[in-house]
Copies of this chain bind each other. A is one copy, B any other.
Amino acid sequence: MTTAVHRPATLEDVARVAGVSRSTASRVIAGTGFASPAAREQVTAAVDQLGYVPNPAARALVRGGGVRLVVAVLGTSAAVLDDPYVHQVVGSAARVCTPAGVGVALHWLPFGDPRGLDQLDGDRSVCGVILVNTTEELLAAVPLSLRGRVVSIGVGSATVPSFDVDNAGGAEAVLRHLYASGRRRIAMVTGPRWLPCAQRPVRTYRHLMSLAGLPERVLPGDFTAARGRVAAGEALRRWPDLDAIYAISDDTALGVIAGLRDAGARVPGMSRWPASTTSRLPG
Using a CB–CB cutoff of 8 Å, the interface residues on chain A facing chain B are 5-6, 8-9, 50-53, 55-58, 60-61, 66-71, 81-82, 84, 86-88, 90-92, 94-95, 97-98, 101-107, 118-119, 121-125, 143-145, 173, 176-177, 180-181, 267-268, 279-282
Which of the listed residues A82, A103, A104 has the most CB atoms from chain B within 10 Å of its own CB? A103
Instruction: Chain B residues near A6: list those with CB within 8 A.
Output: 121, 143-145
Given contacts A9-B122, A67-B67, A98-B106, 14 further A-B contacts (CB under 8 A): A6-B121, A53-B122, A56-B67, A56-B123, A57-B57, A57-B58, A58-B61, A67-B68, A71-B94, A87-B88, A87-B92, A97-B103, A98-B105, A102-B103
Instruction: Chain B residues near A50: list those with CB within 8 A.
Output: 122
**A contact patch SS:** mixed
Report the minimal beta-carbon distance from A55 to chain B, rounded to whole angstroms: 5
Report the minimal beta-carbon distance from A62 to chain B, rounded to whole angstroms: 10
Contact B105 A104 (CB under 8 A): yes
**How many angstroms between the C-alpha atoms of A144 and B66 in the bound complex?**
30
> Would you mind naming 5 contact pairs between A and B with Cβ atoms under 8 Å apart?
A55-B124, A57-B66, A67-B68, A98-B107, A103-B103
**How many angstroms between the C-alpha atoms of A88 and B81 in the bound complex?**
10
Which of the residues B69, B81, B86 comes within 8 Å of A103, measured between beta carbons? Answer: B69
Q: How many copies does the complex hold?
A: 2
Contact A84 B88 (CB under 8 A): yes
Given A125-B56, A279-B181, A91–B101 Cβ distance below 8 Å?
no
Q: Which residue of B is nearest A267, CB measured?
A: B268
**How many angstroms between the C-alpha atoms of A67 and B106 in the bound complex?**
14
Q: Which residue of B is nearest A119, CB measured?
A: B53
Contact B98 A91 (CB under 8 A): no
Q: Which residue of B is nearest A178, CB measured?
A: B279
Contact A173 B97 (CB under 8 A): no
**How many angstroms between the C-alpha atoms of A70 and B95 in the bound complex?**
11
Contact A57 B51 (CB under 8 A): no
Contact A123 B53 (CB under 8 A): yes
Report the minimal beta-carbon distance from A213 to chain B, rounded to whole angstroms: 18
Instruction: Chain B residues near A173: list those with CB within 8 A.
Output: 281
Closest 8 CB pairs of A and B: A103-B103, A87-B91, A94-B106, A181-B279, A68-B103, A53-B122, A53-B123, A87-B87
Contact B105 A94 (CB under 8 A): yes
Contact A282 B180 (CB under 8 A): yes
**How many angstroms between the C-alpha atoms of A153 and B82 in the bound complex?**
19
Given A87-B88, A103-B105, A125–B282 Cβ distance below 8 Å?
no
Which of the listed residues A53, A104, A282 has the most CB atoms from chain B within 10 Å of its own CB? A104
